[in-house]
Structure 1
Amino acid sequence: MWHVETAISATVVAVGLGVGAYFATPDGLRWWLTGLAVVVCAVVAVVVPQWRYRVHRWEVSPTAVYTQRGWWARERRIAPMSRVQTVDFAQGPLARLFGLASVTVTTASAAGPLQIEGLDRDVALALTDELTRKADLVAGDAT
Protein backbone atom coordinates (compact mmCIF):
# COMPACT_ATOMS: atom_id res chain seq x y z
CA MET A 1 0.00 0.00 0.00
CA TRP A 2 2.82 2.41 0.87
CA HIS A 3 4.39 1.75 -2.54
CA VAL A 4 1.15 2.66 -4.32
CA GLU A 5 0.55 5.75 -2.15
CA THR A 6 4.10 6.99 -2.71
CA ALA A 7 3.97 6.20 -6.44
CA ILE A 8 0.78 8.24 -6.82
CA SER A 9 2.29 11.20 -4.93
CA ALA A 10 5.58 10.94 -6.83
CA THR A 11 3.75 10.82 -10.16
CA VAL A 12 1.83 14.00 -9.34
CA VAL A 13 5.05 15.74 -8.28
CA ALA A 14 6.96 14.48 -11.35
CA VAL A 15 4.23 15.69 -13.72
CA GLY A 16 4.15 19.09 -11.99
CA LEU A 17 7.92 19.46 -12.08
CA GLY A 18 8.06 18.20 -15.65
CA VAL A 19 5.44 20.68 -16.86
CA GLY A 20 7.13 23.48 -14.92
CA ALA A 21 10.54 22.59 -16.35
CA TYR A 22 9.13 22.32 -19.87
CA PHE A 23 7.59 25.78 -19.84
CA ALA A 24 10.08 27.64 -17.61
CA THR A 25 13.45 26.61 -19.04
CA PRO A 26 15.26 26.97 -22.36
CA ASP A 27 15.08 24.13 -24.90
CA GLY A 28 18.43 22.58 -23.97
CA LEU A 29 17.55 22.19 -20.29
CA ARG A 30 13.91 21.13 -20.64
CA TRP A 31 14.44 17.44 -21.22
CA TRP A 32 17.27 17.18 -18.70
CA LEU A 33 15.21 18.77 -15.92
CA THR A 34 12.10 16.80 -16.87
CA GLY A 35 14.11 13.56 -16.89
CA LEU A 36 15.76 14.44 -13.58
CA ALA A 37 12.35 15.10 -12.00
CA VAL A 38 11.05 11.73 -13.20
CA VAL A 39 14.15 9.85 -11.99
CA VAL A 40 14.14 11.51 -8.55
CA CYS A 41 10.43 10.81 -8.09
CA ALA A 42 10.87 7.19 -9.21
CA VAL A 43 13.68 6.69 -6.70
CA VAL A 44 11.54 8.23 -3.95
CA ALA A 45 8.62 5.95 -4.90
CA VAL A 46 10.84 2.88 -4.51
CA VAL A 47 13.01 3.84 -1.52
CA VAL A 48 10.63 5.63 0.87
CA PRO A 49 8.09 2.80 1.38
CA GLN A 50 10.87 0.27 2.07
CA TRP A 51 12.48 2.66 4.51
CA ARG A 52 9.16 3.28 6.29
CA TYR A 53 8.55 -0.46 6.55
CA ARG A 54 11.92 -1.00 8.23
CA VAL A 55 11.26 1.74 10.80
CA HIS A 56 7.56 1.43 11.71
CA ARG A 57 6.93 -0.71 14.78
CA TRP A 58 4.20 -1.16 17.35
CA GLU A 59 3.61 -3.25 20.44
CA VAL A 60 0.90 -3.62 23.06
CA SER A 61 1.71 -4.67 26.61
CA PRO A 62 -0.71 -5.07 29.51
CA THR A 63 0.11 -1.52 30.62
CA ALA A 64 0.91 0.51 27.47
CA VAL A 65 0.87 0.93 23.68
CA TYR A 66 4.26 1.55 22.03
CA THR A 67 4.77 2.96 18.52
CA GLN A 68 7.74 3.97 16.40
CA ARG A 69 7.35 5.76 13.08
CA GLY A 70 9.01 8.15 10.67
CA TRP A 71 11.68 7.89 8.05
CA TRP A 72 13.70 11.10 8.32
CA ALA A 73 12.89 11.92 11.91
CA ARG A 74 11.95 8.96 14.09
CA GLU A 75 9.31 9.25 16.75
CA ARG A 76 8.83 6.75 19.56
CA ARG A 77 5.71 7.10 21.66
CA ILE A 78 4.35 5.28 24.67
CA ALA A 79 0.72 5.59 25.75
CA PRO A 80 -0.10 4.13 29.14
CA MET A 81 -3.46 2.31 29.17
CA SER A 82 -4.57 4.71 31.89
CA ARG A 83 -4.33 7.56 29.34
CA VAL A 84 -6.22 5.88 26.46
CA GLN A 85 -9.46 7.72 25.68
CA THR A 86 -10.58 6.24 22.37
CA VAL A 87 -9.49 3.50 19.99
CA ASP A 88 -10.51 3.97 16.35
CA PHE A 89 -10.45 1.63 13.34
CA ALA A 90 -10.18 3.24 9.88
CA GLN A 91 -9.91 2.03 6.29
CA GLY A 92 -9.36 4.42 3.44
CA PRO A 93 -10.15 3.34 -0.13
CA LEU A 94 -6.58 2.25 -0.89
CA ALA A 95 -6.23 0.37 2.40
CA ARG A 96 -9.55 -1.37 1.76
CA LEU A 97 -8.33 -2.41 -1.68
CA PHE A 98 -5.32 -4.13 -0.07
CA GLY A 99 -7.30 -5.52 2.90
CA LEU A 100 -5.48 -3.24 5.35
CA ALA A 101 -6.55 -0.81 8.04
CA SER A 102 -5.27 1.67 10.62
CA VAL A 103 -5.82 1.88 14.35
CA THR A 104 -5.69 5.26 16.07
CA VAL A 105 -5.26 5.46 19.84
CA THR A 106 -6.31 8.83 21.21
CA THR A 107 -4.84 9.73 24.56
CA ALA A 108 -4.95 12.55 27.05
CA SER A 109 -1.71 13.87 25.57
CA ALA A 110 -0.83 17.15 23.90
CA ALA A 111 1.31 15.17 21.41
CA GLY A 112 -1.83 13.81 19.77
CA PRO A 113 -2.96 10.30 18.91
CA LEU A 114 -0.81 7.25 18.21
CA GLN A 115 -1.38 5.72 14.79
CA ILE A 116 -0.66 2.17 13.71
CA GLU A 117 -0.97 1.99 9.92
CA GLY A 118 -0.92 -0.78 7.36
CA LEU A 119 -2.31 -3.55 9.55
CA ASP A 120 -4.14 -6.53 8.13
CA ARG A 121 -7.87 -5.79 8.52
CA ASP A 122 -8.48 -8.70 10.91
CA VAL A 123 -5.42 -7.80 13.00
CA ALA A 124 -6.62 -4.19 13.21
CA LEU A 125 -10.09 -5.27 14.34
CA ALA A 126 -8.62 -7.62 16.98
CA LEU A 127 -6.24 -4.88 18.16
CA THR A 128 -9.10 -2.41 18.47
CA ASP A 129 -11.02 -4.87 20.62
CA GLU A 130 -7.95 -5.74 22.73
CA LEU A 131 -7.04 -2.11 23.41
CA THR A 132 -10.62 -1.22 24.25
CA ARG A 133 -10.81 -4.09 26.77
CA LYS A 134 -7.44 -3.24 28.35
CA ALA A 135 -8.23 0.48 28.63
CA ASP A 136 -11.60 -0.35 30.18
CA LEU A 137 -9.88 -2.39 32.93
CA VAL A 138 -7.84 0.60 34.12
CA ALA A 139 -9.51 2.73 36.77
CA GLY A 140 -9.80 6.45 36.13
CA ASP A 141 -11.07 8.72 33.39
CA ALA A 142 -7.94 8.89 31.14
CA THR A 143 -7.28 12.54 31.89
Structure 2
Amino acid sequence: MTVADQRQPALELRPPRHRVAPRATRYWAARAGAGWLLLLAVQVGWWVLAGGATGWRAAGVVATVVLGAAHVTVMPRWRYHVHRWEATDEAVYTQSGWFDQERRIAPVSRIQTVDSERGPLEQLFGLSNVTVTTASAAGPLKIRGLDRDTAERLVDELTRTTQANQGDAT
Protein backbone atom coordinates (compact mmCIF):
# COMPACT_ATOMS: atom_id res chain seq x y z
CA MET A 1 0.00 0.00 0.00
CA THR A 2 1.38 3.38 -0.98
CA VAL A 3 1.38 6.48 1.21
CA ALA A 4 -1.35 8.00 -1.01
CA ASP A 5 -3.54 4.92 -0.48
CA GLN A 6 -3.18 5.30 3.30
CA ARG A 7 -4.27 8.95 3.22
CA GLN A 8 -7.28 8.73 0.90
CA PRO A 9 -10.02 6.16 1.43
CA ALA A 10 -11.04 4.31 -1.72
CA LEU A 11 -14.04 6.16 -3.14
CA GLU A 12 -16.24 4.55 -5.74
CA LEU A 13 -18.58 6.25 -8.15
CA ARG A 14 -21.98 4.93 -7.16
CA PRO A 15 -25.59 6.07 -7.04
CA PRO A 16 -26.20 8.47 -4.15
CA ARG A 17 -28.81 7.48 -1.56
CA HIS A 18 -31.03 10.55 -1.13
CA ARG A 19 -33.64 11.94 -3.49
CA VAL A 20 -34.35 15.64 -3.86
CA ALA A 21 -37.51 17.09 -2.31
CA PRO A 22 -40.74 15.81 -3.88
CA ARG A 23 -41.79 19.47 -4.33
CA ALA A 24 -39.02 19.76 -6.92
CA THR A 25 -41.30 18.01 -9.43
CA ARG A 26 -43.85 20.84 -9.16
CA TYR A 27 -41.06 23.42 -9.47
CA TRP A 28 -39.61 21.76 -12.60
CA ALA A 29 -43.12 21.48 -14.10
CA ALA A 30 -43.85 25.16 -13.39
CA ARG A 31 -40.57 26.29 -14.99
CA ALA A 32 -41.13 24.12 -18.05
CA GLY A 33 -44.77 25.15 -18.28
CA ALA A 34 -43.84 28.84 -18.21
CA GLY A 35 -41.52 28.34 -21.18
CA TRP A 36 -44.16 26.46 -23.18
CA LEU A 37 -46.82 29.07 -22.33
CA LEU A 38 -44.53 31.84 -23.56
CA LEU A 39 -43.99 29.99 -26.85
CA LEU A 40 -47.71 29.36 -27.16
CA ALA A 41 -48.49 33.05 -26.52
CA VAL A 42 -46.08 34.08 -29.28
CA GLN A 43 -47.66 31.59 -31.69
CA VAL A 44 -51.20 32.67 -30.88
CA GLY A 45 -50.19 36.34 -31.15
CA TRP A 46 -48.65 35.70 -34.56
CA TRP A 47 -51.74 33.77 -35.60
CA VAL A 48 -54.07 36.64 -34.59
CA LEU A 49 -51.88 39.41 -36.05
CA ALA A 50 -51.46 37.50 -39.32
CA GLY A 51 -55.20 37.48 -39.84
CA GLY A 52 -56.52 34.14 -38.77
CA ALA A 53 -56.05 30.48 -39.21
CA THR A 54 -53.87 28.72 -41.69
CA GLY A 55 -53.10 25.05 -41.64
CA TRP A 56 -49.46 25.53 -40.70
CA ARG A 57 -50.13 27.94 -37.85
CA ALA A 58 -52.87 25.74 -36.43
CA ALA A 59 -50.59 22.68 -36.68
CA GLY A 60 -47.84 24.63 -34.92
CA VAL A 61 -50.15 25.57 -32.04
CA VAL A 62 -51.41 22.00 -31.72
CA ALA A 63 -47.84 20.64 -31.79
CA THR A 64 -46.79 23.15 -29.11
CA VAL A 65 -49.69 22.15 -26.86
CA VAL A 66 -49.03 18.40 -27.31
CA LEU A 67 -45.23 18.65 -26.87
CA GLY A 68 -45.57 21.07 -23.96
CA ALA A 69 -48.06 18.86 -22.15
CA ALA A 70 -45.83 15.80 -22.65
CA HIS A 71 -42.74 17.68 -21.47
CA VAL A 72 -44.45 19.14 -18.38
CA THR A 73 -45.89 15.73 -17.50
CA VAL A 74 -42.92 13.42 -18.13
CA MET A 75 -39.80 15.49 -17.43
CA PRO A 76 -40.38 16.32 -13.73
CA ARG A 77 -41.09 12.71 -12.81
CA TRP A 78 -38.12 11.46 -14.81
CA ARG A 79 -35.79 14.01 -13.21
CA TYR A 80 -37.09 13.13 -9.73
CA HIS A 81 -36.16 9.49 -10.27
CA VAL A 82 -32.67 10.44 -11.53
CA HIS A 83 -31.65 13.34 -9.26
CA ARG A 84 -29.96 12.10 -6.11
CA TRP A 85 -27.36 13.26 -3.63
CA GLU A 86 -25.42 12.06 -0.62
CA ALA A 87 -22.80 13.50 1.72
CA THR A 88 -20.59 11.25 3.82
CA ASP A 89 -17.55 12.00 5.97
CA GLU A 90 -15.40 11.10 2.95
CA ALA A 91 -17.20 12.53 -0.10
CA VAL A 92 -20.16 14.27 -1.69
CA TYR A 93 -22.01 12.27 -4.36
CA THR A 94 -24.40 13.75 -6.94
CA GLN A 95 -26.45 12.41 -9.80
CA SER A 96 -28.48 14.69 -12.06
CA GLY A 97 -30.00 15.19 -15.48
CA TRP A 98 -32.74 13.52 -17.40
CA PHE A 99 -31.57 13.01 -21.00
CA ASP A 100 -27.91 13.77 -20.32
CA GLN A 101 -27.30 12.16 -16.93
CA GLU A 102 -24.22 12.88 -14.85
CA ARG A 103 -22.87 11.20 -11.72
CA ARG A 104 -20.07 12.92 -9.79
CA ILE A 105 -18.09 12.48 -6.60
CA ALA A 106 -15.96 14.99 -4.71
CA PRO A 107 -13.72 13.94 -1.83
CA VAL A 108 -14.33 16.12 1.24
CA SER A 109 -10.61 16.92 1.34
CA ARG A 110 -11.00 18.69 -2.04
CA ILE A 111 -13.95 20.92 -1.08
CA GLN A 112 -13.12 24.62 -1.17
CA THR A 113 -16.52 26.27 -0.61
CA VAL A 114 -20.09 25.28 0.13
CA ASP A 115 -22.89 27.65 -0.86
CA SER A 116 -26.66 27.65 -0.91
CA GLU A 117 -29.01 29.74 -3.00
CA ARG A 118 -32.71 30.13 -3.72
CA GLY A 119 -34.20 31.99 -6.64
CA PRO A 120 -37.63 33.66 -6.37
CA LEU A 121 -39.51 30.72 -7.88
CA GLU A 122 -37.57 28.25 -5.72
CA GLN A 123 -38.49 30.30 -2.64
CA LEU A 124 -42.13 30.04 -3.66
CA PHE A 125 -41.79 26.23 -3.71
CA GLY A 126 -39.69 26.10 -0.48
CA LEU A 127 -36.63 24.76 -2.32
CA SER A 128 -32.90 25.48 -2.14
CA ASN A 129 -29.79 24.56 -4.08
CA VAL A 130 -26.39 23.64 -2.64
CA THR A 131 -23.18 24.20 -4.60
CA VAL A 132 -20.00 22.40 -3.56
CA THR A 133 -16.95 23.97 -5.17
CA THR A 134 -13.72 22.05 -5.60
CA ALA A 135 -10.57 22.60 -7.63
CA SER A 136 -11.95 20.22 -10.27
CA ALA A 137 -11.85 21.29 -13.89
CA ALA A 138 -15.35 19.77 -14.22
CA GLY A 139 -16.72 22.60 -12.08
CA PRO A 140 -18.74 22.59 -8.89
CA LEU A 141 -21.16 19.89 -7.79
CA LYS A 142 -24.71 21.23 -7.72
CA ILE A 143 -27.50 19.69 -5.70
CA ARG A 144 -30.73 21.28 -6.91
CA GLY A 145 -34.23 20.93 -5.54
CA LEU A 146 -33.56 20.32 -1.85
CA ASP A 147 -36.02 21.13 0.87
CA ARG A 148 -34.88 24.39 2.53
CA ASP A 149 -34.20 22.76 5.93
CA THR A 150 -32.31 19.86 4.33
CA ALA A 151 -30.14 22.30 2.38
CA GLU A 152 -29.30 24.28 5.53
CA ARG A 153 -28.38 21.09 7.43
CA LEU A 154 -26.26 19.89 4.49
CA VAL A 155 -24.36 23.19 4.27
CA ASP A 156 -23.72 23.12 8.04
CA GLU A 157 -22.64 19.47 7.94
CA LEU A 158 -20.28 19.95 4.99
CA THR A 159 -18.81 23.08 6.54
CA ARG A 160 -18.05 21.22 9.79
CA THR A 161 -16.71 18.20 7.92
CA THR A 162 -14.39 20.22 5.67
CA GLN A 163 -13.09 22.25 8.62
CA ALA A 164 -12.25 19.04 10.48
CA ASN A 165 -10.58 17.51 7.41
CA GLN A 166 -6.86 18.07 7.03
CA GLY A 167 -6.91 17.91 3.19
CA ASP A 168 -5.33 20.57 1.01
CA ALA A 169 -8.53 21.31 -1.02
CA THR A 170 -6.62 21.37 -4.31
TM-score (norm 1): 0.90
Pairing of 1:1-143 with structure 2 (within 5 A) = 1-17=27-43, 27-143=54-170
Paired letter, 1:123: T
- Say if 1:140 and 1:62 are closer, same or farther in 2 by CA, change over 3 A: closer
Q: Give, in whole Å, the separation in 2 of the partners of 1:115 and 1:16.
A: 33
Structure of higher RCO (CA pairs closer than 8 Å, 6+ residues apart): 2
- Say if 1:108 and 1:16 are closer, same or farther in 2 by CA, change over 3 A: same
Q: Give, in whole Å, the separation in 2 of the partners of 1:118 and 1:50.
A: 13
Contact 1:13 1:41 in 2 (8 A): no
Contact 1:57 1:67 in 2 (8 A): yes
Tell me how many residue pairs correspond in the alignment.
Answer: 141
Identity %: 50
Q: Give, in whole Å, the separation in 2 of the partners of 1:13 and 1:134.
A: 46
Q: Give, in whole Å, the separation in 2 of the partners of 1:20 and 1:75.
A: 39
Paired letter, 1:101: S
Alignment deviations for residues 96-133 of structure 1 (CA, whole Å, 9 cap, x no partner):
11111111000110000111111111110000000011
Root-mean-square deviation (CA), in Å?
1.7
Give the greater-gyration-radius structure (CA): 2
Identify unmatched segments of 5+ residues in structure 2. Answer: 1-26
Contact 1:18 1:37 in 2 (8 A): no
Q: Give, in whole Å, the separation in 1 of the partners of 2:44 and 2:65.
A: 8
Identify unmatched segments of 5+ residues in structure 1. Answer: none
